[in-house]
Amino acid sequence: MHDIKVLSETQRMVKGRHGYFVYNLHDHYIGKSLELYGEYCEHEVSLFSKLIEPGSCVWDVGANIGALTVPLAHLVGESGRIVAFEPQPVIFNNLAANVSINGLNNVRCLPFALADRSQELVVKVQNYHAPGNFGAVSLVNSKKSLPDADAVRVEAKSLSDLNYLPKPAFIKIDVEGMEAAVISGLRKLISVTPPLLYVENDRVEYSAELIELLWELGYSLYWHITPYYNDKNYFGIKYNLWPGISSFNMICVHSTHSHININAEKISDSKKHPLQKKI
């Protein structure tokens, strides 16, 4: 059995495929995947290894605890740069810890969200001492009317505030429904040096707007749908904790990326989504 270290009432540490990870034992997806399988969304990491060049700069927008930030840092190498954004204060602490314990000097962690404009967002306090999906906290419906005791105020910044950051060749965006706002805020960057994008699209109600925005900005889109469970996982566990559950993302290739060929289903209808209920 793999070694799991108890750090506190809620925090555990495990050595997985890509390094050491501190995680909340109550987190049903990211934490549980690291604990049980020693990895998280390894099918995505495999794709990243084909798309990301050593020495390049990658932005990880919605990095959570760094389960993908850490392997991304290994992919770009010491000469590359990772900028990881995570606005949830408690989750950000885990992200910074995981970057630190793995000695990743090529990663910069920033404790705010990206959006189309700078603003303060308010989200409901999470109970990190009870089971939950801490990777699914959304800032879409920011509740400014929440009582102070129930609210966490987080900062969102636009690209105009971030001129000091290295320009990315690749951006991973996983922001629980705020993907269109993030991409709108990147318009100026895309118009000058368009990066390759990897964008989560698992919310049917926002999908058409997101797809059409990316088309408008000159991107061709391809579905990347992968099961959460990897039968070749690091710990060799044969039990699938999430049968039938997959992640839904889009590989977004700009018209200027003539050297990139994607062997995947191209999106041609913004109104269609794999998660739509069939009538």
**What domains sit in the chain, N to C, each tagged with a CATH number?**
4-254 (3.40.50.150)
In this predicted structure, which of 77-81, 119-123, 126-130, 158-162 has the lowest mean pLDDT? 126-130
Would you call 215 exposed, middle or buried from its count of C-beta atoms within 10 A (0-12, 13-18, 19+)? middle
Which residues is 23 bridged to in the sheet? 12
Mean pLDDT of the region 188-200:
96
- Label residue 60 by pLDDT band (50, 70, 90): very high
Task: Average the pLDDT over 113-133 and give the result.
Answer: 82
> pLDDT digits over 257-273, tens only?
988 889 999 999 999 99
In the predicted structure, residue 279 carries a pLDDT above the cut 50: no
Residue 168 has pLDDT above 90, yes or no: yes
Q: What is the dihedral of CA 95, 98, 100, 102, to 10 degrees?
A: -150
Contact present, 85 and 113 (Cβ < 8 Å): yes
In this structure, the strands spanning 170-173 and 196-200 are parallel
